[in-house]
A and B are shown apart, each in its own frame.
Chain A
Amino acid sequence: MSSTVKSSGNVNQLGLAMADYKGARSTLCAGCGHDAISSQISRTFFEMGVNPYRVAKMSGIGCSSKTPAYFLGRSHGFNSVHGRMPSVATGAVVANRNLICLGVSGDGDTASIGLGQFCHMLRRNIPMVYVLENNGVYGLTKGQFSATSEMGARLRGGAVNDLPAIDICKLAIEMGCSYVARSFAADPRQVVPLLKGALSHNGTAVIDILSPCVTFNDHDESSRSYSWGKEHEELLHQIDFIPHFEQLPEIDYAEGEMQQVELHDGSVIQLRKVEKDYDPTNNAHAFKMLRETREAHEFLTGLIYIDPSASSFIDRLNLVDDPLALLDEKQLRPGPEVLDQLMEEFM
């Protein structure tokens, strides 16, 4: 169950319709996981009543990175260069701290060419939602293995991956990321609340989403296929997201059945226990769980780690409240007396 925003008819609290959160027609292959995620993004932003004019959609290069054209058509988008979206996003949010930044990347874009920038984005804790559309291959260059592919994975043509996978969630926690989640493109009931939580977080929120490439990596043996995902997905917990503008529902849960995490903007994530005991605010737990599930070839999804008290890069820069990009000449260019003073120092 994910919460919906109270809206009159088919518009949200800004008076915008779902259609206002859609983008151009997708040119991806029919059935591509990335398209499913695009719809979930549209829905999330619609339900959260996010002002699309404040959103900056950032991406690198790949099929996944093309998708920002296919949602939030009223928002500015930036399809940058391969693997370097984090730096562009950093510059954009530093220049305008009011932007709501959403990054979309692929596993090639993030885990290979962009690994360095990905790590440094996390280290800085750039305020943005970072969606990794993970299909285990390079879709756009026609199906080569990516660095998140499992060791021993086999492509339809017979090629075998003989290198170990990089676990993006584990890496993210190691790099100090304070919101780390894993999900499945075919599970909108989970993707949407995770995206909402990410939007309410202060800092980089990484969501690693299994997003099958129907053209190059969706055969039955592939651990990045729809069928594998459906068979293996195990929920860490049931997630409910209650936005800050809504009342918390009053339901009694038995002790230990439910954990509430209050997010930076006052919204709350409710995690209802499924089978295992799992506390996503405990980073040692998170590491242990990620290691064990990898060894057991399990596909556990949910909110893996969260530290709602993290401070972001923007907090640390001690910036004025107004966006740097909008400061006027008087705020930007010191007066002639400053030049005189400096000239004096060099005489």
Chain B
Amino acid sequence: MSIVKEQTPAPTADGSEVGEIVNEFSIQVATVNGSGSQSANNVLMRAIFHMGVPVSGKNLFPSNIAGLPTWFTIRASAKGFIGRKKEIDILVAMNRQTVRQDVESVEPGGIVLYEEKLKASQFRDDLIYFPIPFSALAREIVEDSRLRKLVTNMVYVGSLAEVLGIPMAQVRRGIEDWFKKKPKAVQLNVRAAELGSEYVAENFQRDSRFRLRQMDKTKGKIIIDGNSASAMGCLFAGVSVLTWYPITPSSSMAETLASYLNRFRIDPETGKATYAVVQAEDELAAIGMTLGAGWAGARAMTTTSGPGISLMAEFAGFGYFAEIPCVIFDVQRVGPSTGLPTRTSQGDIFSLYFLSHGDTRHLVLLPANMTECFDMAWQAFDLAEEFQQPVFVASDLDLGMNNWMADPFEYPQGKLNRGKVLDKEELERIGEFARYKDIEGDGIPCRTLPGTEHPLAAYFTRGSGHDESAAYTESPEAYTRLMDRLSRKHETAKTRIPQPVVELPQGAEIGVIAFGSTHWAIEESLLQLKREYATELGYLRVRALPLTGHVKEFVERYDRVYVVEQNRDGQLAGLIRMEIPENAGRILKILHYDGLPIDARFVTDQIADAEGLEKE
């Protein structure tokens, strides 16, 4: 590994050099929270995206408004891997508090662009350094100190563009995308980026180790965060009542959806809204309102994260027993209260599936990518109304708040499924109505909406104690019948929820099961295991709860099945063992729970170690 010192970058030769790494690396930007680096990082990511190079962006931010360290990681991957890559190849160091730690985290031979004053080069001598007076450069064009802080960030974008070979035109396009309606801001930021780029061109010889080159792999693709994707799914689900209480990392879903509704769901003739958004006083009220609206016949939803889910527990069970449709989005984060609320986790699986008191099992959808964040959002509403129960959609902070590349979403197929709702005419035709009677044997009864003008329509909604006609009862037989019918309904739901995605390579002897955002690490890890250890594994990705027969079939194929998830106790593994106790011994756990998104190398190392695999 060539060791290159400060101010004396390695001389470069023309053409594709030995050791040159093209379109396959990660960049980490270390800044201070509240310094406005978000715009700069997004511009950088979009510039790479516009070069046709697959890219993803992850924001690692503190639970703080200003002052604490924050990191943004951009991964460019010609091969299309957009999960987290732990190894950092290129660092932009802007934060004095963390500069030592940041420099230490870079892979040997990596590149460091840093604010000159931070003297980052003192910590290691196996990296290539670019000391740049970012803030001094920004001072040349901006007087105001607050604005200068923001513009300073765009200077590093320009510098990095010059180092990596991002054409200025793409940077400009990224800036125009971001500051859409503000021509003044565009002008200023373009100037800042140019300054950064010129400084590098004048003061350093280009390093050739990491290069970005134009490709065509992002043509027609979108780059989006999961919360926006889900919000869009809700818009096309025809949601009409959104209730929410702010909590990271779910707030941006509600806020984005509210803005879409405001744009696209105002009746053009009257200027009136075909939706309502209610910011509730807490999550108990949020789910209460959602259930009230669902009961009255609206497509209703709420968004939250773990602490909110805990508060919703009583009502969730009520909704299950009283059979009221609604959709609850849980953008999962790390555990309770203060500390790591801005870090990712898959730790709500148990609580979601069983949320409430008594015998309760919910339907839980588990999106793993942007397309599923969109699709499962609208599907959740169809399922909720078809099965007349709360449906949970569980993504996580990594999916919800980070930027991912995807194919454009497809318009929902078919009509809205409003479920078995009897209106006045239908009641007249049938001549009878019993709210909780299973007529078709699928466990799903018929309902009526309040306001239906028919003497048969009314019924009384309550929790556990009701018979088929919704009359109050404490009869043991009636309760048992109710519980058994709800089980029947759950069985029916197994055939209607998203089924697992299964890959069964020939000759594989072991399997992996994962769900949600863990998918990206698995997909990349499977290739690493194949390339490095000549080992192939079967892979099943769970896309919803309850678990279906596919899981049992899959587990029975293999001697050992690793369940990989981002929580400490192996919650999905626990559910699988519970469902197929006869195979519990084959289920092994690989668990990642430090609050950062899981990465492929972690999975590969764990499996190689557990299996005693030898490198090829």
**Chain A residues proximal to chain B, CB less than 8 Å:** 24, 27, 51-56, 58, 68-69, 73-81, 84, 86-96, 98-99, 116-117, 120, 317-321, 323-327, 329, 331-334, 336, 338-339, 342-343, 346-347
User: Can you list 17 A-B pairs, Cβ within 8 angstroms, ordered by A?
Assistant: A53-B451, A55-B450, A58-B292, A73-B458, A78-B292, A81-B314, A94-B292, A95-B292, A96-B450, A99-B451, A117-B281, A320-B270, A325-B451, A331-B274, A336-B411, A347-B221, A347-B408
What residues of B have a CB within 8 angstroms of the CB of A76 in the complex?
Answer: 448-451, 457-461
In the assembled complex, B501 has its CB within 8 A of some CB on chain A:
no
Q: Give the Cβ gap from B101 to chain A, nearest Cβ, in Å.
A: 34
What residues of A have a CB within 8 angstroms of the CB of B184 in the complex?
Answer: none
Q: Which residue of A lies closest to B243 (CB)?
A: A91
Q: Give the Cβ gap from B282 to chain A, nearest Cβ, in Å.
A: 7
A99–B457 Cα distance when bound, in Å, is: 14
Scan residues 276-309 of chain B and give those whose CB is less than 8 A from a CB of chain A. Answer: 276, 278, 280-282, 284-300
In the assembled complex, B275 has its CB within 8 A of some CB on chain A:
yes
A84–B298 Cα distance when bound, in Å, is: 19
A327–B280 Cα distance when bound, in Å, is: 24
Q: Known contacts A89-B292, A318-B273: does B454 contact A53 (CB below 8 Å)?
A: yes
What residues of B have a CB within 8 angstroms of the CB of A323 in the complex?
Answer: 296-297, 451
Q: Contact check: which of A74, A77, A81, A321 meets B463 at CB < 8 Å?
A: A81
- Interface-facing stretch out of B36-44, B229-237, B476-484: B229-237
Q: Give the Cβ gap from B302 to chain A, nearest Cβ, in Å.
A: 10
Q: Which residue of A lies closest to B418 (CB)?
A: A329
Q: Contact check: which of B271, B296, B471 meets A92 at CB < 8 Å?
A: B296
What residues of A have a CB within 8 angstroms of the CB of B472 in the complex?
Answer: 24, 27, 69
A116–B286 Cα distance when bound, in Å, is: 13
Q: Known contacts A320-B267, A323-B451, A334-B264: does B276 contact A84 (CB below 8 Å)?
A: no
What residues of B have a CB within 8 angstroms of the CB of A86 in the complex?
Answer: 285, 288
Q: Are B240 and A53 in contact (CB under 8 A)?
A: no
Q: Are B318 and A327 in contact (CB under 8 A)?
A: no
A176–B295 Cα distance when bound, in Å, is: 28
In the assembled complex, B452 has its CB within 8 A of some CB on chain A:
yes
Q: Give the Cβ gap from B179 to chain A, nearest Cβ, in Å.
A: 14
Q: Are B296 and A91 in contact (CB under 8 A)?
A: yes
A347–B407 Cα distance when bound, in Å, is: 10
A81–B264 Cα distance when bound, in Å, is: 35
Scan residues 394-410 of chain B and give those whose CB is less than 8 A from a CB of chain A. Answer: 408-409
Q: Give the Cβ gap from A85 to chain B, nearest Cβ, in Å.
A: 8
What residues of A have a CB within 8 angstroms of the CB of B451 in the complex?
Answer: 53-54, 56, 76, 96, 98-99, 323, 325
What residues of B have a CB within 8 angstroms of the CB of A347 in the complex?
Answer: 220-223, 408
In the assembled complex, B453 has its CB within 8 A of some CB on chain A:
yes
What residues of B have a CB within 8 angstroms of the CB of A55 in the complex?
Answer: 450
A74–B416 Cα distance when bound, in Å, is: 30
A116–B285 Cα distance when bound, in Å, is: 9
Q: Are A324 and B274 in contact (CB under 8 A)?
A: yes
Q: Are A53 and B457 in contact (CB under 8 A)?
A: yes
Q: Contact check: which of B232, B281, B294, B453 meets A53 at CB < 8 Å?
A: B453
A243–B281 Cα distance when bound, in Å, is: 36
Q: Contact check: which of B298, B318, B411, B461 meets A325 at CB < 8 Å?
A: B298
Q: Are B273 and A320 in contact (CB under 8 A)?
A: yes
Q: Which residue of B lies closest to A346 (CB)?
A: B222
In the assembled complex, B265 has its CB within 8 A of some CB on chain A:
yes
Q: Give the Cβ gap from A222 to chain B, nearest Cβ, in Å.
A: 30
A54–B300 Cα distance when bound, in Å, is: 21
What residues of A have a CB within 8 angstroms of the CB of B298 in the complex?
Answer: 91, 94-96, 324-325
In the complex, the 6 A-B pairs of residues with the closest C-beta atoms, listed nearest first:
A91-B292, A87-B288, A332-B238, A325-B297, A95-B298, A76-B450
A317–B273 Cα distance when bound, in Å, is: 8
Q: Known contacts A79-B461, A81-B318: does B238 contact A95 (CB below 8 Å)?
A: no
Q: Give the Cβ gap from A63 to chain B, nearest Cβ, in Å.
A: 13
A198–B457 Cα distance when bound, in Å, is: 26
Q: Are B236 and A334 in contact (CB under 8 A)?
A: yes
Chain B 425-439, CB within 8 Å of chain A: the 1/0 string? 000000000000000
In the assembled complex, B455 has its CB within 8 A of some CB on chain A:
yes
In the assembled complex, B272 has its CB within 8 A of some CB on chain A:
yes
Q: Give the Cβ gap from A242 to chain B, nearest Cβ, in Å.
A: 28
Q: Are A91 and B297 in contact (CB under 8 A)?
A: no
